[in-house]
Structure 1
Amino acid sequence: MSPMSNANSMAPTELSPFVYWSQTKGQLLLKVDLKDAQGVVAEFTSTTLSFAANGHGARGRNAYKFQMRFFLPIDDETATFSVTDHKIELHIRKAEPAWWQRLIATPQKPHWLRIDFDRWRTEDDGDLSEGTRDVREDYVEEYNKLQKQEIGYVKEHAKKVYLIIYNLAMFVGYLHILLIMSVLYIRDGSESMKHTYEYVGTSFKFVQLMQYLEVMHPLFGYTKGSPLMPFFQISGRNFVLFLMIEMEPRMHAKPVVFYVFVIWSLVKIVRYPYYVSQLVKRDNGLLTWLRYTIWIPLYPMGLVCEGVILLRSIPYIEETKRFCVDMPNKWNWTFDMVLFLKVYLLLLALPGTFMVMSHMSKLRAKKLGRGRAKPKVN
């Protein structure tokens, strides 16, 4: 027998613990048969679970792990687990209340997955009909391998191709703006700030308007989430860009315009490559960390710069009466833009900042925690 054969025969075998599952209409309960477990890690996405722990199982004290793809989506943000001396229980909420015919996507059940008959509900307790399923979603890896063998590459959905192109185009747009500003600053120093809007204002208006496609993506089912958060974020920045800067030529040469363009661009040149990496399923630890960390200094700085622009615009609006509506008029109503800006500043400084920072803080905790379930507090 060759040395290579000896090495292969001595390679450690991945051990999986026995897992017992049960369900209600809204929740799943998984019981992992490990005693005295330590180092428990349960990493969730909306469709998968990766588990690892050290403990005493069927093969004695060892490192045990398993992975599974769920039959239907789950609420990965609320998943928890609890550890006792004799077992580990994972508490999982289903994304939509329904009775599942099985726990995992594929009909073939691994030998270590079993039914928890003590908690099992019978078919009479709910409709367990499977309905129509796309087998390609159940056998993702096998289907991709088959495509590579047959046609030499993996076909991608038009939606995914569009999203990759869109995010790459937006990355190139903001990088182009940032490079022009950098070259001008290196060449002319602080004097270049006066000409920032002259050189990149048109490009910035274009990419900012293109961002409204991100409001449409969740509406068309291209991305998950609500369209309200991107709508408010994009509209808030476009309000500053188009009404406060574009409409007042005296604002074009202000240094604060340079600063706000740099801050907005830095956020975007990290954000869009991260989205591309997620679409092509090529996770990059540094890129993920930057995506969910760079906002910590940049968002407050951006909000301060936006506030300064609004404050600097108030005297100009008082002078020109731009956007103001006085009586008498055929609509019989008035609108004071100066008062509106003051109220807007209060909303931007207090609830607006809190809402945005809280939203990003939750995303950071989830993503940099790698989707891990939280230990359940008894």
Structure 2
Amino acid sequence: MNSSTTTTSKQQLTPLVYWAQTEDQITLKVELKDSKQPNVRFDEKSLKFSTYGLGARGLNDYQFALNLFSKIDDDDSHFKVYDSKIEFTIRKEQPAWWPRLTATPQKPHWLKIDFDRWRTEDDVVDEDEPRDVMEDYSSASRKLHLEELGYIKESGKKVYMVFYNLCQFVGFTYVLLVMSVLYYRDGPDSMSKIYETVGNPLKFCQLLQYLEVLHPIFGYTKGGPLIPFCQVTGRNFVLFVMLTLEPRMQTKPVVFYVFCIWALVEVVRYPYYITQMFESDIGLLTWLRYTIWIPLYPMGILCEGIIILRNIPYFEETKRLSVELPNKWNFAFDMPSFLKVYLIVLVLPGTYLLMTYMAKARAKKLCGISGGSKKTHSN
């Protein structure tokens, strides 16, 4: 009875310790608050620590000992006490990347990886620069997380991007399926009903695409916001101005073709983005993503141009969106003239810039598919 009581009272409490390394040193972060006079002993291949502080088990005496993988410079190793933690900087005797911190493969349960400071042998960035290990070293980091946690903890940014791309894929697939079913059932007669049938869901998907302008601004995707802004705004100009404001255009066959082209592009693009986030390279999908635009983009621009061109007489007749003098702002705007200028910009420089941009992206992404041993994985 007395023996059992003595064993319980002398139970050793160990704090959580997080470690990271560079080629030259080891850093440790001990999660203890209000530590009082820590007792630290550096030896050639070991570290012993004890103190009184506030940890996971409340105010208590905490201690741990580490038998290190290799030798350290105990004279050049030190620690610093903060209000909420204790940080160690341990200098390695010989610069080298250690495969683990401890001498034995078995890692104590209280020793964790400090993912905020984690480095790899190929890492050359500034140690003070904020890091995203999941992004910089995705495969290595996923392995570390799996070893540490037993499961993969996805970032909120990645979860959001998967959800966004999946929603857009479902939306454009719905539009394409409804159009296909109507055409199969009614043939060419269905074309006059397409705007009325799928116009609203397509508007929702198109408005949602403005998030793709914000994604590169906030670091969710690579690239710049200009190209997506021009593409999304160009489509929305046709959808919300040329079609929504002019009911006579809504029943034209060209509307069916332009909706079909937009949907075909997106039902390939969004699944491709999802596979890239999970580092899964499906050859056919990648080829389609960077090839299907070759026939569809010129056809889409042609259809958009036809819609704008055929709308010019309607806007001349209705004077819709035009501003005539005199008025209190002393400002005049002629919508038909604007459409003529917009049409010239769309067909000439707009088409050239878009096709050139996509051609460069295709060459960069697909250069390795037919290159045999020269295959690359550049994103």
Note the C-alpha offset of 1:225.
Answer: 1.1
CA distance in 1, matches of 2:195, 2:122: 61
TM superposition score normalised by structure 2: 0.63
Q: Does residue 341 of structure 2 align to residue 327 of structure 1?
A: no
Give the match's secondary structure for 1:333. coil
| Counterpart-to-counterpart distance in 1, 2:202 and 2:357 | 25
CA distance in structure 2 between the partners assigned to 1:212 and 1:196 by the alignment: 24
Shift of 1:135: 8.9
In structure 2, C-alpha distance between the alignment counterparts of 1:272 and 1:237, rounded to whole Å: 17
2:198 maps to which of 197, 200, 205: 200
Q: Distance in 2 between matches of 1:182 and 1:129?
A: 54
Give the Å deviation of 1:153. Answer: 2.1
Provide the rounded CA distance (Å) in 2 between the counterparts of 1:331 and 1:320: 21
Correspondences of 1:25-44 after superposition (within 5 Å)? none
Counterpart for residue 10 of structure 2: none
Task: Specify which of 296, 299, 316 is matched with residue 297 of structure 2.
Answer: 299
Q: Give the counterpart of 2:212 among 208, 211, 214.
A: 214
Deviations 1:271-327 (A, max 9, x none): 000000101110111000000000000000000000000011011101100011101
Deviations, residues 104-132 of structure 1 (Å, cap 9, x unaligned): x63389xxxxxxxxxxxxxxxxx997545
Q: 1:250 aligns with which of 226, 229, 248?
A: 248
SS of corresponding position for 1:253:
coil
Assess, with a 3 A threshold, how the Cα gap between structure 1 residues 224 and 308 changes in structure 2: closer, same or farther: same
Q: Does 1:356 align with 2:370?
A: no
**Could you tell me the TM-score, scaled by structure 1's length?**
0.63
Q: Out of 115, 121, 141, which is 1:107 matched to?
A: 121
The gaps in structure 1 that reach 5 residues or longer are 1-104, 110-126
CA RMSD of aligned residues (A): 2.4
Structure possessing the higher radius of gyration over alpha carbons: 2
- Output the amino acid matched with 2:326: P
Report what 1:101 is aligned to. Answer: none
**Which amino acid is the alignment partner of residue 200 of structure 2?**
T
Secondary structure at the residue paired with 2:285?
helix
What is the SS of the residue equivalent to 1:153?
coil
Q: Which amino acid aligns with 1:302?
A: G
Report the AA paired with residue 290 of structure 2.
Y
Q: Which amino acid aligns with 1:190?
A: P
Q: CA separation in 2, counterparts of 1:368 and 1:246? A: 39
Which of 163, 166, 170 aligns to 1:165? It is 163
Q: Secondary structure at the match of 1:323?
A: coil
TM-aligned CA deviation for residue 252 of structure 1: 1.0
| Change beyond 3 A, Cα 1:283–1:329 | same
- The match for 2:234 is 236
Task: Decide whether aligned partners of structure 1 residues 108 and 368 sit closer, same or farther in structure 2, where only a CA change above 3 A counts.
Answer: closer
Residues 198 and 139 of structure 1: CA distance in aligned 2, closer, same or farther (over 3 Å): closer
Inter-CA distance 229–134: structure 2 relative to 1 (3 Å threshold): closer
* Counterpart selection for 1:338 from 336, 339, 351: 336
Count residues with an aligned counterpart.
253
Distance 1:165 1:370, change over 3 A: farther
Task: Give CA deviations for 1:84-111 in whole Å, capped at 9, x if unaligned.
Answer: xxxxxxxxxxxxxxxxxxxxx63389xx
Give structure 2 stretches of 5+ with no counterpart: 1-118
What is the match of residue 308 of structure 1? Answer: 306
Change in Cα spacing, 1:139 to 1:292, as seen in structure 2 (3 Å) is: closer
